[in-house]
Amino acid sequence: MFCSLEYRDAIIVFRGLLILVVVIILGVSVSERQINSLTQRQDGVRVFSMNCDHRSVYSIYILGSSYNMSAVYSVGEIINNDKAIIIKTSHHHIVIPTYIEIDCKKAFILLDLWAKLLVDKGFDFKQSLELYLTGLPQRLNDYIEHFR
- In Å, what is the CA distance from 15 to each residue of 8, 30, 42, 58, 63? 11, 22, 33, 32, 20
Q: Quick check: 97 and 84 in contact, CB under 8 A? A: yes
Percentage of residues in the chain having pLDDT higher than 90: 22
**What is the C-alpha radius of gyration for the chain, rounded to an integer number of angstroms?**
47
Q: 61, 43, 41: which is closest to 51 by C-alpha?
A: 61
Residue 75 is predicted with a pLDDT of: 78
For 10-30, write each residue's pLDDT tens digit.
899 999 999 998 898 888 778
Q: What is the mean pLDDT of residues 31-52?
A: 73
For residue 36, which amino acid is it?
N
Give 45-92 pLDDT, tens digit per residue: 666 677 777 777 778 877 777 787 776 667 788 888 888 889 888 888
Query: CA-CA distance, 122 to 130, in Å (whole number)?
Result: 12
pLDDT of residue 41: 67
